[in-house]
Structure 1
Amino acid sequence: MSALSQRVSGRVSSPELAVFVSGVVSMGLEILAGRMVAPQFGSSIYTWGSIIGVFLAALSLGYYQGGKRASRRATEDRLVRILLATGAFVAVVILAGDLLIAGLSGFPLPPRFASLPAVTVLFGPPTYLLGFISPYGAELSRKESKGEASGHVYAVGTIGSIVGAFGCTFLLIPSLSVSMIGLVFGLLLVVTSLFILAPSFPRRTVLATAFVAVLLVGAVAVPSAGYSVRGETVYQTQTPYQELVVADAGDTRTLYLDGQPHSAMDLSEPNRHVFDYTRYFHVPFLMTDWANESTSAPHQSGDIDRVLFIGGGGFTGPKRFVNDYNATVDVVEIDPEVIRVAKERFRVEEGPNMNVYNAEGREFLRNTDHEYDLIVLDAYKKDKVPFQLTTREFMQLTSDRLDEDGVLLANVISAPTGPASQFYRAEYKTMNEVYPQVYSFPTSGGSVVQNIEVVATKSDRRLTEEQLQARNERRDIGIDLSTEVDDYQAEVETGDVPVLTDDKAPVDALLEPMAGQRYVVSQTGSNGTVAGAG
């Protein structure tokens, strides 16, 4: 035993410290893995199942191999070598993680297994090495019996895992970027190695420790200062819920959540609809019955006086509604960082007509006493959908909070036809269980994964495409929706998809066929015409 480790409180030995740190780092890397692979593969149950399975398999193999070698090779010097080798692998994860994840995403595997190769290559080796620490620690333990030594090691390692889980989840992820979190874990391994080496500090091992430290710092420092295919990164962070990136490309500022484009703003014309799908948020103005449809007053809002947006993002819809109509807009956003970034980077201002609430959408609806004319559900992502906002019970709750002429619009990301359309068609079927009339408007054409606007009304009367076009011509709502109405999808086949309920909502299984497919977001030019897709 080293002299320093024997002196610290008279209780903490080098093997115990190594075991504790291995628990911290293994669990921290497991949580970090979810954040790293989410932009490419999503954060569905299949992604998390792959991560958990790979980490358990790698640790088990490390435990087995370490146990076989412990009686012959367990020394503090070898503990240091293992810790440093793990630190070097962490540097590789920081430096080449995104490149490897993208490169390994093309394996010809079923969608639910798509993330498995990347998780295995990136996180299998360092986790395997960490598996050696516990059996080596048990062999070097000062406990009198093997049973006591094993139990002590497992307890210390588990405590480390608890610290790693809570520390990474509640402290590191809300505060640091992915690369900086990796640096924290890598330097923790380096510092632990120095502690074990004290006070002798063998020259060769110290040089190896310094090399790994430089490698870790260099891995963080090497990437260029913020330009990618998305444009110039002006802000990036890890929130408690997702990776958030704000990037500028020309005059367009885009908000990316977990790697997917969520909202965009024209810096020279902040209220313009940059993404075409947000234009469809105005379609409900064609669905309601107006008290006086012959008026020539511009930008009339009909009977839509109070609007609720569930999901804020870049606040494109809320800003436009406040700007165009004399309506009160409430916005519910679960991620406080999204709200802060919207105010600082997307020119969102609260005021008499704009109220922003940091809350979960269903909980807010359950507790509010407001009655709305329009609810816009904009909280879905391509591969991560809060199931509690998809079910029949939730749809009934929205209906209860709408007035008798109220409208619900759900921004669904899916394909309109084919295997990747299962979630959209299940959501359509679920809404149809509660609302008398449900309409859908695919926004990008074809069968690609895109935004599909599903609109539900309480009216017993079904409006035809021709009637909607006639209303669009008569009503001045500040935007011409003739192109959007052309996308009216009259028939939706729902016989092979389930109604989603609180008791059974297989959202991950329904989203699975979309894994690996390109998400197409049509953009508009300054004159309102569709300019392209990305």
Structure 2
Amino acid sequence: MDLQRALESGRLTKAELAVFVSGITSMGLEILAVRIVAPQFGSHIYTVGGLLTVFLAALSLGYWQGGKLAKTASNRQMTWILLATAVYIAVVIYASDMLLYYTATIPLGPRYAALPSIIILFGPPTYLLGFISPYAAELSAKEGVGEASGHVYALGTIGSILGAGATTYLLIPSFAIDEIGLLFGLILVGTALVLSLPRPSKAVAITLVVVTLVLFTASSSAALGLDPRGEVVHQTQTPHQQLEVIDNDNVRTMYLDGARHSARDLEDPDRHVFAYTRYFHLAMLLQDEPESVDRVLFIGGGGYTGPQDFEERYDVTIDVVEIDGEVTRAAETYFGLEQSDSLQAHEHDGRQFLYETDHTYDVIVLDAFKRDQVPFQLTTVEFMTLVDKRLSDDGVVLANVVSAPEGSASEFYRAQYATMDKVFGEVYSFKTSSTPAVQNVQVIATKDETRLSARDLEARNEAGHIETDLSKEIDNALEQPATDDVPVLRDDQAAVDALLDPMLGQQYVIEETESSGSVGETNSSSSDRTEEGYIRVPEIDTQR
């Protein structure tokens, strides 16, 4: 009842206010930490589990130490703790990218790779905030230790609920990470000011001003900071992921959660910067009559380089399903996307779109998979059965699968192959790099049960079956993989995370085509060029 009356009247004591704000800030930082760390290390269970472990350990240590020192607690001491936490948040705002980059080089196993950066970035501020609750309990006017403790921790928990909800549903979809960090820092500074009223000391007053300036400086410096990948043209947090557009010389790249997703040559827009996008045309080569193809569906848009290429080369109508509307808007602004009668974007979940559409498609391209983030609902037998229903009689489906073509890291590719083989007449697969590394493996299925050999595909290619020359791509055809040791993926048993686990710590290679300029215009050494004429560019191993 005391807590209810305090909240209803809006009259919290200074100590109670500090507890409430510390709850907001600690949980808000915990939610925000996922977005800060995921682009470097991925958002798999080991990253999320590591964050939870570090936050809980730091809070526990703060509670313990704060309890030991609580006998000397005062509002003034809490003022300094809040200001110290605000300063460390400024460090997180300014230096998180650099700290993530350098801690990623520490030789730890892939499961533990994110822990050093999590400890350095979020351990100290969470530890400091842990002092507030035992200090506030000591300063509470409640009678008895039990009543004081219950009152304080109830307020802290209410603050945590508010911090988690506001950060998840309001702040992250609307503001950049640096702006949210600045907001948390200013909340701590404002609370410190309230605790020091009515007459803050000269030292406190000066510190309040200095910390505020430090927060704004860190935020503005981070926003204008140099990125080793190139010039940051656009950066935002969407409800689904971190989105960045970065220019490096003449190549513009879209990064989603820190991973390269699409690229465009600003001087030669027709160039396939990422070689794997050329393989999408194999779906047309497998058509008996490609000129009769009428409608194409892409699930996953990114920079819309694939759909735009199809629109330019074929007389077809293209639907693109992209679940993140911010990605589509970035493609329109920075990658030349122009929607028209022949190319329409739909902000929707891919599977739900297929359920609801009345259209039949001749080609469906599944390009929604990332290295460590695979929407399992787009991998299963049930989904492939739905795809089969939405394909024309001679339809073709292509899945751009990030996996290794062989070895232990090939489990996801082989499971996806086995799943598609369960539904369709024939399944083909093509590697996009001559290395055994994790790469973009193209898995293509047809309703037709007549299998075309590599020689058949070469004959079609030489005869100009389609305008794009795919001789190099055909050479990368894979033999049918062994699938006895991998599961067929089902809605009730799609263990995608377990299949992706062997890829942790593996190098991810994205082949790039050479630019139309001279070889000297590229940044790759001769040892990085493949026999196919591609440039081998390893994805920075951010997810270890």
Moved over 4 A (4+): 526-529
Larger mean CA deviation between 246-255 and 148-157 belongs to: 148-157
Q: Deviations over 1:45-81 (max 9, x none)?
A: 22111111211222122222222332x1221111112
Q: Structure 1: any 5+ residue segments left out of the alignment?
A: 1-5, 291-300
1:180 counterpart = 2:169: no
Paired residues of 2:73 and 2:139 also in contact (CA < 8 A): yes
Separation in structure 2 between the aligned mates of residue 10 and residue 416 of structure 1, nearest angstrom: 62
Indicate the residue corresponding to 1:68 in structure 2.
Answer: 68
1:335 counterpart = 2:324: yes
Indicate the residue corresponding to 1:257 in structure 2.
Answer: 256
Larger mean CA deviation between 505-514 and 23-32 belongs to: 505-514
Separation in structure 2 between the aligned mates of residue 33 and residue 205 of structure 1, nearest angstrom: 29
Indicate the residue corresponding to 2:22 in structure 1.
Answer: 22
Paired residues of 2:509 and 2:536 also in contact (CA < 8 A): no
What are the equivalent positions in structure 2 for 1:122-141 lying under 5 Å apart? 122-141=121-140
**Residues 316 and 421 (structure 1), Cα distance of their counterparts in 2 relative to 1, 3 Å cut:** same
- Shift of the alpha carbon at 1:218? 2.2
Q: Deviations over 1:387-436 (max 9, x none)?
A: 21122221222112112211111111122122222222222222222223
Paired residues of 2:91 and 2:218 also in contact (CA < 8 A): yes
Across the aligned residues of Structure 1 and Structure 2, the Cα RMSD in angstroms comes to 1.9
**Residues 10 and 419 (structure 1), Cα distance of their counterparts in 2 relative to 1, 3 Å cut:** closer
- Shift of the alpha carbon at 1:224? 7.3
TM-score when scaled to structure 1? Answer: 0.93
SS in 2 for 1:222: helix
Paired residues of 2:93 and 2:222 also in contact (CA < 8 A): no
Separation in structure 1 between the aligned mates of residue 222 and residue 88 of structure 2, nearest angstrom: 17
Paired residues of 1:264 and 1:274 also in contact (CA < 8 A): yes
Separation in structure 2 between the aligned mates of residue 303 and residue 157 of structure 1, nearest angstrom: 65
- Shift of the alpha carbon at 1:529? 4.8
Corresponding residue pairs, total: 517
Indicate the residue corresponding to 1:280 in structure 2.
Answer: 279
SS in 2 for 1:106: coil
- Shift of the alpha carbon at 1:532? 4.3
SS in 1 for 2:104: helix
SS in 1 for 2:509: coil
Paired residues of 1:441 and 1:488 also in contact (CA < 8 A): yes
SS in 1 for 2:478: coil
Separation in structure 2 between the aligned mates of residue 388 and residue 110 of structure 1, nearest angstrom: 29
Paired residues of 2:409 and 2:502 also in contact (CA < 8 A): yes
What are the equivalent positions in structure 2 for 1:219-238 lying under 5 Å apart? 219-223=218-222, 225=224, 227-238=226-237
Separation in structure 1 between the aligned mates of residue 381 and residue 113 of structure 2, nearest angstrom: 31
What are the equivalent positions in structure 2 for 1:53-202 lying under 5 Å apart? 53-70=53-70, 72-202=71-201
Paired residues of 1:194 and 1:209 also in contact (CA < 8 A): yes
Indicate the residue corresponding to 2:542 in structure 1.
Answer: none
Match of 1:379 among 347, 368, 374: 368
Separation in structure 2 between the aligned mates of residue 399 and residue 462 of structure 1, nearest angstrom: 18
Q: Deviations over 1:365-397 (max 9, x none)?
A: 111121111110111111111121122221222
SS in 2 for 1:235: strand
- Shift of the alpha carbon at 1:255? 0.7
**Which amino acid in 2 is paired with 1:40?**
Q
Paired residues of 1:226 and 1:234 also in contact (CA < 8 A): no
**Which amino acid in 1 is paired with 2:19?**
V
Paired residues of 1:41 and 1:515 also in contact (CA < 8 A): no
What are the equivalent positions in structure 2 for 1:113-512 lying under 5 Å apart? 113-223=112-222, 225=224, 227-290=226-289, 301-512=290-501
Larger mean CA deviation between 8-17 and 479-488 belongs to: 8-17
Q: Deviations over 1:445-469 (max 9, x none)?
A: 2111211111111111111111111
TM-score when scaled to structure 2? Answer: 0.91
**Residues 328 and 529 (structure 1), Cα distance of their counterparts in 2 relative to 1, 3 Å cut:** farther
Q: Structure 2: any 5+ residue segments left out of the alignment?
A: 1-5, 517-531, 539-544
**Which amino acid in 1 is paired with 2:534?**
V
Q: Deviations over 1:61-108 (max 9, x none)?
A: 2222222332x1221111112111211221221222122222222333
Indicate the residue corresponding to 1:533 in structure 2.
Answer: 537
Separation in structure 2 between the aligned mates of residue 42 and residue 117 of structure 1, nearest angstrom: 15
Larger mean CA deviation between 496-505 and 475-484 belongs to: 496-505
Separation in structure 2 between the aligned mates of residue 206 and residue 495 of structure 1, nearest angstrom: 70
- Shift of the alpha carbon at 1:496? 2.4
Paired residues of 2:178 and 2:223 also in contact (CA < 8 A): no
**Which amino acid in 2 is paired with 1:94?**
I
**Which amino acid in 2 is paired with 1:420?**
A
Separation in structure 2 between the aligned mates of residue 396 and residue 10 of structure 1, nearest angstrom: 57
Separation in structure 2 between the aligned mates of residue 462 and residue 363 of structure 1, nearest angstrom: 31
SS in 2 for 1:432: helix
**Residues 187 and 10 (structure 1), Cα distance of their counterparts in 2 relative to 1, 3 Å cut:** closer
Separation in structure 2 between the aligned mates of residue 15 and residue 186 of structure 1, nearest angstrom: 18
**Which amino acid in 2 is paired with 1:314?**
G
**Residues 429 and 110 (structure 1), Cα distance of their counterparts in 2 relative to 1, 3 Å cut:** farther
Paired residues of 2:67 and 2:131 also in contact (CA < 8 A): yes
Separation in structure 2 between the aligned mates of residue 206 and residue 473 of structure 1, nearest angstrom: 78
Q: In percent, how many aligned pairs have the same letter?
A: 56
